[in-house]
Amino acid sequence: MNLSVICFTPNGYDRMKELNSIAFEDISIEMFCKCSRLKDECADFYVEEDLSSWTKKQFEKKNAILFIGATGIAVRAIADSVENKLTDSPVLVMDDRGEYIISLLSGHVGGANELAMTIGGRTGSVPVITTATDINGKFAADVFAKKNSLSIINKGGIAMVSSKVLAGEKVSICIGEEIPVDEEAKAAFAKKHEEDLILLAEKDAGETCDIFVGKKKETSPKALLYLDAAKYVLGIGCRKGKREDEIRTLADRVLAEQGISPKEVCAVASVVGKHEEEGLIAFARDMQVPFVTYEADALESLKGDFTESEFVRQTIGTGCVSERAAMYHCKGEGTLILKKTAENGVTAAIAEKKWRLRFYE
């Protein structure tokens, strides 16, 4: 996760430096300053533009944001960028004495709650979490979906399921017949939640359930919330300056040819050097998935049968971007189901991650 931290006072700058000195696993920190008294000292990362514009750029890059200052500053800064609880960047606020860290936006799907707990645990700041399921110690469907790499098909269903959970009513979860399951984890999960959740196989569910996990079909039970496995990685390479629509044309075609819904894609992957390509950033944002890039030498280190180009290797540092990036994101547990396909200066490949429902919470 990329975390953009911005301060507004000398005290806040001290907190930011302290935070930057801590080695966090899977969190990369970038510092920013918007305090005129520190303009010379922070010249390399001083923010000249207005705060709303800076914030919008962080949202477009899918960066998490930590404002070190007043909550009101953060609220005004994000006002024009907030759109969708499934895609908004996680936003946190820390006071400039570092006493509290507040999960302000995208606490569940974006991970702001978990991030507040992580930072609080390392800095001594008290995490402030206000989401109802968390403070009441209840099952949260959107957290369950995120941790299990499940795509939320109808976001409106989250509120309906949460309402039942908070009212103390039992919630039924139907597991689709095609979903591979970790049976040991399933048994432990069922025992832990025996008072508030009911786990059902699709053949035993009847006509309705609260949460359906799997591909929605005409024969599927009607549910309040539909979740599906997001297990495909879309590897993309492109020439510099390619527009979003040019990238989407090829991506839509290869996904359709493979019978894969965009909702089943968990990430768009490419090589470092493409991380600032506006077309790729916009495409991933519209897909509502993370856009990740990997160093060329890391991609080149992968073993396997890839569609190589010596020209690409000499130019970028790896012989194939799309296939290698897709497979690299699978962390050694994936299958390349579509090799490199090229069109109009864009290349695409698809990898399927090894996945099964492990009932993470």
The confidence score (pLDDT) of residue 276 equals: 85
Same domain? For 40 and 117 the reply is yes
**Assigned domain for 287 exists:** yes
The confidence score (pLDDT) of residue 264 equals: 94
The confidence score (pLDDT) of residue 78 equals: 97
Where do the H-state alpha helices sit in the chain?
10-20, 51-60, 71-78, 112-123, 132-135, 141-147, 156-166, 183-192, 244-257, 278-287, 296-300, 310-316, 322-329
- Mean pLDDT estimate for the chain: 94
Same domain? For 198 and 271 the reply is no
d(CA 127, CA 142): 20
Q: What is the pTM of this model?
A: 0.81
Which of these three, 63, 98, 130, is where a domain ends? 130
Count how many domains the chain has: 3
For the chain, helix, strand, coil in percent to 5 are 35, 25, 40
Angle, CA 44 vertex, CA 43 and CA 49 arms, to 5°: 75
The confidence score (pLDDT) of residue 249 equals: 96
**Assigned domain for 135 exists:** no
The confidence score (pLDDT) of residue 59 equals: 92
With contact defined as beta carbons under 8 Å apart, do 296 and 273 qualify?
yes
The confidence score (pLDDT) of residue 126 equals: 97
d(CA 264, CA 232): 6
The confidence score (pLDDT) of residue 328 equals: 96
d(CA 21, CA 111): 22
Spell out, as residue ranges, where the chain has pLDDT lower than 50: none
Same domain? For 306 and 284 the reply is yes
With contact defined as beta carbons under 8 Å apart, do 325 and 236 qualify?
yes
Which of these three, 84, 102, 130, is where a domain ends? 130
Look up the domain containing 189 and give its range: 141-229
The confidence score (pLDDT) of residue 285 equals: 86
